[in-house]
Structure 1
Amino acid sequence: MNYWFDLDRLITLAHAERAGFASAQPFPHVVLRNFLAAEKVDAILDHFPPPESPYWHRKDTPDTKKLDTTPDYSVELRMPPVIREAMWQLNSMMFLCFLQELTGIKGLLGDPWLYGGGVHQILPGGLLKVHADFNIHEYTALQRRLNVLIYLNKDWRAAWGGDLELWNRDMSRCARRVKPDAGTCVIFETTSTSYHGHPEPLACPEGVTRKSIALYYYTVHPDFDPRPVRHNTLFQRRPGEVY
């Protein structure tokens, strides 16, 4: 398995975008156009589960109308191999190094559980109201720090809506909109006031859906108790063993 990204190019990109990320409004973020190569987008789309696939978990509430996955032990087994590989690439040490250099957040951890993450799909009429994400991982108790969204929508028309909206802290206005074009990557800090979503129903025609990859990254919560004494590997000698 080969890396999808070149580490030197990623680090160069991180250094070039770091100041802009930190100063971006309404909260730290960056928008990277053509971040995922077109051939990778095409490979994922060739195997992207259709809406009627049993792969999906359907959410249909006033604030959320979309398809995503319910985390369990079989999620990876049900993924098409190319999507499983994408999850691995975006949780790799190389990608974590890129995120750390870009954001300045040290000790970042990926999420092999894909809790809330993975691939998402929104059908005509679907929406995701403006919100701030959960902050603590259900299984690991780690603190959520970053969102990475990669869009997979070729030839997306502005009239269909579906822009990612970033709202300011007091919810008085939308500070930025991002069209969900194929290959576009949005990275932003996850806090209790990083309000985002696409609150208006999609106006795309039947047979067209809004597709994305969503990955979340974590650090140890500051309230974690570090008191256990650290030690290295504790090799033991068996009775009579000398070495």
Structure 2
Amino acid sequence: MIVDYSTKENTLSDDIQRYQKALPYPHIIFDNFLETASAEKALAVFPKIKDDGWIHYVHVNEKKHGLNKLELIPDFIRDEIIHELNSPKFIQYLEQLTGISNLLPDTTIEGGGIHQSEKGGYLNIHADFTVHPHKKNWRRRVNVLVYLNKDWDASYGGALELWEKDMSKCSVKIAPIFNRVVIFNTDEDSYHGFPDPITCPKDVTRKSIALYYFTEEKTGSFKRRSTNYRARPNDGIKAIFIWLDKKMISIYTWIKGTFGINDDFVSKVLNMFRKKK
């Protein structure tokens, strides 16, 4: 069993209250969320960044790597963990926890899948894109992040930061420790990230499984917006570059949705240019 639903059902009433009343926006943290042997196996088969299929998100607002080609994700992570976390039973649990009805899993895991950051990696504070890149009436509602970092020292940094809706301050910091799961609403002001470069040793990476959930809405009932990166109060002149990069990403998101391309295609093009240099 990947998830112990009997235990979750016993605490569900309290967890619903914790989730929906949490600040700065609805979220919850669970330790030892996956069955221990499953979490251990997921870590054991977690692929290296140099393996095939990784997309390299390297620009002003982030420096991380993602793998969302299902056929290249290790069988156990794809067929057991991702399959379970996209299953009707888990979706039903998420709907009860969040209070959001009719959630839909993204079986294409566009933008999600497995993520990894090396020493120096970071992800600036942002609110997630609001619409599925290839389903224009799918509104993004919930994130589930599974961390797989054993012996992660606090000195490495990399804590997930949840910021106030007015971007005045960081409200919550969540260490990305092994078998910890963070679930949170992805509203237009659900600002989060790990903005300071991590300082882990070269042979250590920050690993996670990221899954996104949507609801199907009437076309035009909500605003389509790409990832909204925001500067922190102490970012100074860096704020200008964060804003400019955000505008470029907005253009890229429009191109992706209009022409049906994906991050993997763009990553391959960028890698071709790198090889020519």
TM score, norm. by length of structure 2: 0.76
The residue aligned with 2:132 is 137
The 5-angstrom pairing of residues 1-243 of structure 1 reads: 3-69=1-67, 75-85=69-79, 86-141=81-136, 142-223=138-219
- Structure 1 or 2, whichever has the larger Rg, is 1
Partner SS, residue 143 of structure 1: strand
Query: Is the Cα–Cα contact under 8 Å of residues 4 and 35 in structure 2 kept in the other structure?
Result: no
Query: Deviation of residue 104 (structure 1)?
Result: 0.9
CA distance in 2: counterparts of 1:201 and 1:160, whole angstroms: 9
CA distance in 1: counterparts of 2:92 and 2:77, whole angstroms: 21
CA distance in 1: counterparts of 2:144 and 2:174, whole angstroms: 13
Residue type of the alignment partner of 1:128: L
Cα deviation, 1:50-99, whole Å, max 9, x if unaligned, reads: 12112311111111100003x5xxx2211111111211111001110110
CA distance in 2: counterparts of 1:105 and 1:163, whole angstroms: 27
Cα RMSD for the two superposed structures: 1.4
Partner SS, residue 131 of structure 2: coil
CA distance in 2: counterparts of 1:10 and 1:222, whole angstroms: 33
CA distance in 1: counterparts of 2:11 and 2:134, whole angstroms: 33
Query: Is the Cα–Cα contact under 8 Å of residues 15 and 101 in structure 1 kept in the other structure?
Result: no
The residue aligned with 1:234 is none
Partner SS, residue 115 of structure 1: coil
CA distance in 1: counterparts of 2:43 and 2:165, whole angstroms: 35
For these two proteins, the number of residue pairs brought into alignment is 219
CA distance in 1: counterparts of 2:70 and 2:104, whole angstroms: 18
Residue type of the alignment partner of 1:132: A
Cα deviation, 1:120-152, whole Å, max 9, x if unaligned, reads: 000000000000000100122211100011100
Residue type of the alignment partner of 1:209: T
CA distance in 2: counterparts of 1:181 and 1:6, whole angstroms: 19
Query: Is the Cα–Cα contact under 8 Å of residues 3 and 33 in structure 2 kept in the other structure?
Result: no
CA distance in 1: counterparts of 2:36 and 2:63, whole angstroms: 28
Residue type of the alignment partner of 2:144: V
* Bigger Cα displacement from structure 2, 8-17 vs 145-154: 8-17
The residue aligned with 2:232 is none
What are structure 2's unaligned runs of at least 5 residues?
Answer: 222-277
CA 1:59–1:199: 2 relative to 1, 3 Å = same
Cα deviation, 1:132-177, whole Å, max 9, x if unaligned, reads: 0001001222111000111000010000000000000111100000
Query: Is the Cα–Cα contact under 8 Å of residues 11 and 101 in structure 1 kept in the other structure?
Result: no
Residue type of the alignment partner of 1:99: L
